[in-house]
Amino acid sequence: MIESNFPSVDALNSGFAAKIADVLREGIAARGNASLIVSGGRTPQGMFAQLSEQDLDWSKVVISLADERWVDASDDASNEKMVRGHLLKNKAAAARFVGLKNAADSAEQGVAGCVSEIKQIPVPFDVVILGMGEDGHTASLFPCSAQIAQGLDLNYPQPYLAVQPTTAPHWRMSLSLAALLDSRKIFLHLTGEGKKVVLNQALAGTDEFEMPIRAVLKRADVELVWAP
């Protein structure tokens, strides 16, 4: 694991945004376009504001989500709402966004629509930004869910699966482990001492069903981006 530690969340927000912008520019220079898969939650919001101001050809960038709560895009729990409010503005307003919530009544019924939409995004993804919960979940690969074995199965046939956490609200749509790993660059974005403690627990053990972030850390050269 590569470690980029910042002295403060403010320093992280601007330094990490600049780092992501560099990778996106490299992708555009090399292939004509670039993809960015982001996570929801609270951690990325300040960084998104900084990223939205970065000078690059956002019209060549497609942005999508590592996971989504199966709620309307107007709901405060919606990751799409958060990304629209914090990232898809300023210069980044020119990026194309592929959301995950569709008109299907349930996340399980919505998988097919998501699978068809993701075909617009070339793989490997250029950048995936992951977060991590106190229970070691990442994206919506929750250790408590009945779907965790499918999510961590590298041969799972679909890039998305519907997940019902028992310790957090809402059905989710999540990229599978295999889909997340199909990326040129994976960042793990954490802030606070508490998340560092959880990360150290993850690094100290091997049971991926207990802490699904281990499945990513074991297989990818993840760059940890952290501030206290």
What is the DSSP annotation of 187-209?
Answer: EEEEESHHHHHHHHHHHH---TT
In terms of CB distance, is 67 or 126 closer to ligand 6PG?
67
Q: CB nearer to ligand 6PG: give 62 or 141.
A: 141
Instruction: Tell me how far the alpha carbon of residue 53 is from its chain's centroid.
Output: 20
Query: Least distance from C-beta 126 to ligand 6PG, angstroms?
Result: 18
Among 27, 35, 40, 173, binds ligand 6PG (CB under 6 A): 40
Measured distance CA(189)–CA(76) in Å, rounded:
22
Least spacing, CB of residue 109 vs ligand 6PG, in Å: 20
The order of strands in the sheet holding 172-175 is 67-69, 172-175, 160-163
Element (H, E) at 218: helix 213-219
Q: How far is the CB of 59 from ligand 6PG (least distance, A)?
A: 26
Binder among 35, 43, 54, 78 for ligand 6PG (CB under 6 A): 43
Asked if 22 and 47 count as a contact pair (C-beta separation under 8 A), the reply is: no
Residue number, nearest CB to ligand 6PG = 131
Residues 98-137 that bind ligand 6PG (CB under 6 A): 131-133, 137
42 versus 74: smaller Cβ distance to ligand 6PG:
42
Quick one: which of 38, 43, 71 has its CA closest to 168? 71
- Give the footprint of ligand 6PG on this chain (CB under 6 A): 39-43, 66-67, 79, 131-133, 137-139
